[in-house]
Structure 1
Amino acid sequence: MLKKTTTTTTTTSAGAKTVIKKEIKTTFESAAAVALRLHLTNQRRGVISDFVTTLNVTEFYRTAPALAAFRQYLETNTSPTPAELEEAFTNLIPITTFEDYKQFLDRIITGGDRETPDLLFPGIANYIINSSSTSGGKPKLFPVVTTDDIGKQMLEVHKMKLRHLAAGIDFDTKVENGVPLAVKLIKHYPSLLILHALYGLMDQNVGYIGSVFSSTVLDWIHTIQDHKDELLDCIEKGTLPQGLVFDEGLEDAIKSSWSANPSRAQELKQINFSQESWMKAVWPKLQSVEAGCGGPFAAGIPKIRFAIGPSVKIVFGVYGCTEGFVVGISLQDANNPNLFQIPNFGVVFEYLETRGNKALISVAELKQGERYQLVVSNKSLGIWRYFLGDIVEFVGFHPATKNPIIQYIGRDGGIRLVPCLVTESEILKAAQAVFDQVKDEIKGEFTSFADILGGRETITFCFERKPDSIVSVSGLEDVLTSVLRQENTVFDAEFEGKLRKCVIHFLSPGSFSKYRSWKAETVGSGQVKIPIVASNLEVRDWFLAHCL
């Protein structure tokens, strides 16, 4: 065993004086633990050095108030060692938010500075990406500069992801893209689903189906089932479905690539699209379906499994976010789709403690079983110690890659009621209790928001009824309330005082798909999520307008 001495420095202000306190703690650790900590520390120092060297030519670096102390340090310490640079980065740069970058983002995106180099990152933006609007509000836009190593990173993502599949996936088969580029450019979500369904059904050699979220795969499956007769008629006659909404110039490109295939239509007419494994009957060569299934998207797994059958692999997609790109790569644990390893792709991830001193720590300081909020520094976006808000639980380190393994817990926030905060994880548990009771009557998605009536607050849950469902709210509101009282002691203490019983609204069938279509007008269709908590008033009103 080796001795480890840790010094924690805390700086506080007391009037005009600055008080510095040092806490020295001695522990003992194994040689293997020391080697791992040294590896992680050196890795972090290398990434930080590259990050600072890349971005110190930018206008944001030279002018941003958030970086003032760090700039001053580097002006007087022109050749710091990697260890010194890491210490300055850790101690002198505060956590930043979207508002710290808004002026620069506006200049690049809408203010005429798109061709001005070196604002947030070296050079000019190659493209603009948008956030997935998790809470239902307006998506955030970020300009991005591409780097030469992105292709290598994506290859490594697939290698790390697939090595966890016991049987692997056969990549020797010839792969063709059966969907024209023009289809992928369509913004109207229902039209996008219909055309992907049409081209997919036409091609009997489909071997892989993928989407960002499992909810999109389910929307696509339901589109095929609901429009089967029309789709097969189009395949037989070489026509396109009625009511499609095309962006300018796309319709002719799509029509020119489409032709009749009567024999394929006859094959498909013999298949029951409601039976188990029907997708394997439609596409005999189908090997895998990939989609993000973490968090609330795990609810889609049983329905996808029913459609594809037992022989087709479900590959859990990456844990990604706009600001951090690939945050985690799934361990492909069928029992827990929320387990990911965080790779070293040149992005600095740090971890904000959720309790105690709420210190911002490095990967080498993580403690097993503790929960943290993610903070990211990404040179491709030019963001420094940016607060993500995602909550993760540290599980351990991967034995082969030495990367940290985390369990995704949820987003920061939840619903703030006057007497208490109801967390997202508590809301999810309550909704899951309803799904467990009436899973055959409602879709596996929901949203929620605060509800005020006569001064007594509660939480409203919106669930979508399936067609022909006769489910009622009777008893289910009590289920929600009971779970929240069990999970949240303050909610329980204030119940029937400041708080009242939870409320359920049932949405008409197809409402969540319509919501994705509505949001896809301003956000890429693959980025649209059903918000667990709908904090945006416009979004709340939209859902209330679609209640039965």
Structure 2
Amino acid sequence: MLPRFDPTNPIAAISLLQDVTTNVKQIQDSVLEAILSRNAQTEYLRGLLNGQVDKQSFKKNLPIVTYEDYRSYIDRIANGEPFDLICDRPISLLLATTGTSGGVPKLIPLTTEELEQRLLFGSLYAPLIYKHVEGLDEGKSLMFYFVTRESETASGLIVRFMISCVLKSVNATNSFLWDRVQISPHAISICEDTNQGMYCQLLCGLLQRENVTRLGAPYASSFLKVIKFLEDHWHELCSNIRTGRLSDWITDAQCASGIGKFLTAPNPDLASLIEKECSKTSWEAIVTRLWPKAKCIEAVITGSMAQYIPLLEFYGGGLPLVSSWYGSSECFIGINLNPLSKPSDVSYTIIPSMGYFEFIEVVKDRQEVGHDPAESPVVVDLVDVKVGHDYELLVTTFSGLYRYRLGDILRVTGFHNNAPQFHFVGRQKVVLSIDLNKTYEEDLLKAVTNASLLLESHDLMLMDFTSRVDFSSLPGHYVLYWELGSKFKNAKLEPGSKVLEECCFTVEESLDSVYRKGRKNDKVIGPLEIKMVRPGAFDELMNFSLSRGSSVSQYKTPRSVTSEEALKILEANVVSKFLSRKTPSWEPRELHSSR
């Protein structure tokens, strides 16, 4: 585990970072030894290890599992059975993941000790951005966070999202750390009404616009939702600033109290300035226009979030995009040691103290290397991964997960000291499939990105997308749902049928040879279809997920949709449809090598 250090001392944090990335093998071995010796008498490990807690017995006897393999143990704990089913320490709460395309979250066990480790992890990477981004310490951060109302299991165990855990860990003894770096008072960030919280965080940021040096949100998508909210509410925000009076619909006591420290008197000059910028024909560079001293935008921009990079660049006016760290509800994993790297070059350095990490090597078609499909895959340790190779990550944690498939594909890009650095490739998940063809998230994202370039000459932007397979007619075909936005107000949102038909064809040309061969003569796979949806359709899709317990801070648009309710929302918003009019060439070619 991470040794304790003073989170207010950047030198101590950077020194510790150098230490843990140097002694990787020793730390990984000691982490595994600690996890196994602590938990040897749990029901799960006792039945598999029979008291043998050495590394060899662990690798030989413990199966590689998914959540479905593990669900029964977590369900038993949720229903009131003892925590020592899987862990020697009390499970303090269950973390809800962001859910699947069906909107149903997984529940991940978390101990108090593990939460403390994750907070230390945050303090470990915090000094890096100040070290690399000049002038950041001359102001504060306008980071947008939102909590989701927590729930309880049948036995009374609390269920929270990870962002909510972090926000609610701020208390009287450590709140000075928050106040030192954040523009918005902590009380506003923990408001459970997302609209009131978002409105008041924006209002705080606008009232203190000259003191904002960093903006961001947990994910690129959540930051863009803030921009959309600003677009819909700037008239009202300006009215509040002009009159010095908060809107009556802000009824949350903590929000009203928090904003009251800054909205103390009418400020017509500031209101007019903001009004002037927001009423311009284009919102290009709106972030730097409203917050002139901003140095960067911080949000996760890797994996499925890479789709939103063009939008962040448009609204951000050239500000650096910083993707600080990589983690999940199951485990916090890696840090971006070069915050100013280009979005396409972002790599995360694994912090070996956070858990025990193993890797299944995969090749381009996501097949596991070196084993018969009927046998267990060959697994390598953290120190044995090879540069240029792709791996699926397994985690073993102090909170009771053992050899758990995280479902993420990582590509090794190099080493910092002795710690491997990884580029996040995407999820080990087939998002679309017809016949023998399997399209993975990474490949779909690349294909859509290539096609969306055709929109640039029409001053249009792809705001969001998802997909499904339509088997209602034979052969089945891929359907993409696209929501477009314009770089200019009141512009036409459809560039014409020929452009969108060419977009369909470009997506198909960008997919692999198995797909393209299946498209030959339309025998196996039918022409790809793009369905344009009206503006706001993906907000409706998000609201559907939120109604089923998801979190605004952690919500990610599913790249494929199977839920009937979600499909009804999308179909109800379709305004036009386009089909690929040409058949892609099907000869094998290596356009999307994973190496």
Pair in the same fold by TM > 0.5? yes
Which of 117, 120, 125 aligns to 1:157? It is 125
Residue in structure 1 matched with residue 454 of structure 2 by the alignment: 437
Hey, what's the Cα distance between the residues in 2 that align with 1:238 and 1:171? 27
Are residues 425 and 299 of structure 1, via their aligned partners in 2, closer, same or farther at CA, if it must alter by over 3 Å?
closer
AA at the equivalent of 2:452 = F
AA at the equivalent of 2:569 = W
**Residue pair 2:206, 2:290 contacting (<8 A) in 1 also:** yes
SS at match of 2:299: strand
Matched, 1:542 2:577: no
Residue in structure 2 matched with residue 347 of structure 1 by the alignment: 355
**Worse-superposed segment, 177-186 or 198-207:** 177-186
SS at match of 1:526: coil
Are residues 219 and 38 of structure 1, via their aligned partners in 2, closer, same or farther at CA, if it must alter by over 3 Å?
closer
Residue in structure 2 matched with residue 520 of structure 1 by the alignment: 546
**Worse-superposed segment, 500-509 or 165-174:** 165-174
Hey, what's the Cα distance between the residues in 1 that align with 2:58 and 2:83? 25
Post-superposition Cα deviations, 1:258-278, rounded to whole Å, max 9, x if no partner, equal 444554343132241345544
Post-superposition Cα deviations, 1:65-115, rounded to whole Å, max 9, x if no partner, equal xxx34x23x3xx5xx6xxxx1122122211012123322322333x234xx
Residue in structure 2 matched with residue 405 of structure 1 by the alignment: 421
Are residues 106 and 167 of structure 1, via their aligned partners in 2, closer, same or farther at CA, if it must alter by over 3 Å?
same
Matched, 1:198 2:198: no
Deviation at 1:317, TM superposition (A): 3.1
AA at the equivalent of 1:435 = S
Matched, 1:356 2:369: yes
**Residue pair 1:458, 1:503 contacting (<8 A) in 2 also:** yes
Q: TM-score w.r.t. structure 1 length?
A: 0.80
Residue in structure 1 matched with residue 69 of structure 2 by the alignment: 100
Which of 495, 504, 513 aligns to 1:471? It is 495
Structure 2: gaps (5+ residues)? 1-19, 141-178, 363-367, 371-376, 576-595
SS at match of 1:345: helix
Residue in structure 2 matched with residue 209 of structure 1 by the alignment: 215
Hey, what's the Cα distance between the residues in 2 that align with 1:285 and 1:37? 34
**Residue pair 1:347, 1:379 contacting (<8 A) in 2 also:** yes
Hey, what's the Cα distance between the residues in 2 that align with 1:415 and 1:242? 47
Matched, 1:420 2:427: no
Deviation at 1:436, TM superposition (A): 0.5
**Residue pair 1:296, 1:445 contacting (<8 A) in 2 also:** no
Matched, 1:387 2:405: yes
Which of 378, 390, 393 aligns to 1:374? It is 393
Structure 1: gaps (5+ residues)? 1-35, 63-67, 245-249
Residue in structure 2 matched with residue 4 of structure 1 by the alignment: none
Hey, what's the Cα distance between the residues in 2 that align with 1:283 and 1:335? 22
Which of 296, 305, 308 aligns to 1:297? It is 305
**Worse-superposed segment, 196-205 or 288-297:** 196-205
Are residues 546 and 318 of structure 1, via their aligned partners in 2, closer, same or farther at CA, if it must alter by over 3 Å?
farther
AA at the equivalent of 1:424 = E
Residue in structure 2 matched with residue 232 of structure 1 by the alignment: 238
Deviation at 1:182, TM superposition (A): 4.7
Matched, 1:457 2:476: yes
Matched, 1:315 2:322: yes
Deviation at 1:178, TM superposition (A): 4.1
**Residue pair 1:433, 1:480 contacting (<8 A) in 2 also:** no
Are residues 214 and 52 of structure 1, via their aligned partners in 2, closer, same or farther at CA, if it must alter by over 3 Å?
same
- The higher radius of gyration belongs to 1
Deviation at 1:392, TM superposition (A): 1.4
Hey, what's the Cα distance between the residues in 1 that align with 2:544 and 2:184? 23
| Seq. identity, % | 23
Which of 100, 110, 124 aligns to 1:144? It is 110
Hey, what's the Cα distance between the residues in 2 that align with 1:456 and 1:37? 52
SS at match of 2:63: coil
SS at match of 1:383: coil
Hey, what's the Cα distance between the residues in 1 that align with 2:472 and 2:378? 39
AA at the equivalent of 2:89 = G
AA at the equivalent of 1:50 = A
Deviation at 1:486, TM superposition (A): 4.9
Residue in structure 2 matched with residue 10 of structure 1 by the alignment: none
Matched, 1:336 2:344: yes
Hey, what's the Cα distance between the residues in 2 that align with 1:512 and 1:128? 28
AA at the equivalent of 2:58 = F
Deviation at 1:132, TM superposition (A): 1.7
Deviation at 1:306, TM superposition (A): 4.0
Hey, what's the Cα distance between the residues in 1 that align with 2:563 and 2:455? 28
Which of 465, 471, 481 aligns to 1:446? It is 465
Deviation at 1:373, TM superposition (A): 1.0
Post-superposition Cα deviations, 1:152-182, rounded to whole Å, max 9, x if no partner, equal 322212245655x364742787836443445
Hey, what's the Cα distance between the residues in 1 that align with 2:200 and 2:420? 40
**Residue pair 1:134, 1:531 contacting (<8 A) in 2 also:** yes
Are residues 254 and 482 of structure 1, via their aligned partners in 2, closer, same or farther at CA, if it must alter by over 3 Å?
closer
Hey, what's the Cα distance between the residues in 1 that align with 2:495 and 2:91? 51
**Residue pair 1:127, 1:143 contacting (<8 A) in 2 also:** yes
SS at match of 1:367: coil
SS at match of 1:455: coil
Residue in structure 2 matched with residue 530 of structure 1 by the alignment: 557
Hey, what's the Cα distance between the residues in 2 that align with 1:432 and 1:277? 21
Post-superposition Cα deviations, 1:442-493, rounded to whole Å, max 9, x if no partner, equal 3342111111132211111111122641334544344334443453222122
Hey, what's the Cα distance between the residues in 2 that align with 1:216 and 1:325? 20
Are residues 330 and 432 of structure 1, via their aligned partners in 2, closer, same or farther at CA, if it must alter by over 3 Å?
farther
Post-superposition Cα deviations, 1:353-404, rounded to whole Å, max 9, x if no partner, equal 2243242211232222221111111112x10000111111122212x3x211
Post-superposition Cα deviations, 1:511-537, rounded to whole Å, max 9, x if no partner, equal 223333332331121110011222434
Hey, what's the Cα distance between the residues in 1 that align with 2:207 and 2:134? 28
AA at the equivalent of 1:270 = L
Hey, what's the Cα distance between the residues in 1 that align with 2:248 and 2:526? 48
Hey, what's the Cα distance between the residues in 2 that align with 1:187 and 1:58? 37
Deviation at 1:547, TM superposition (A): 2.2
Are residues 395 and 255 of structure 1, via their aligned partners in 2, closer, same or farther at CA, if it must alter by over 3 Å?
closer
**Residue pair 1:208, 1:289 contacting (<8 A) in 2 also:** yes
Deviation at 1:117, TM superposition (A): 4.4
Matched, 1:127 2:127: no
Are residues 289 and 201 of structure 1, via their aligned partners in 2, closer, same or farther at CA, if it must alter by over 3 Å?
same
**Residue pair 1:202, 1:264 contacting (<8 A) in 2 also:** no
Runs of 4+ aligned structure 1 residues displaced above 6 Å come to 171-174
AA at the equivalent of 1:362 = D
AA at the equivalent of 1:431 = V
Deviation at 1:134, TM superposition (A): 4.9
**Residue pair 2:92, 2:111 contacting (<8 A) in 1 also:** yes
**Worse-superposed segment, 325-334 or 131-140:** 325-334
Matched, 1:487 2:490: no
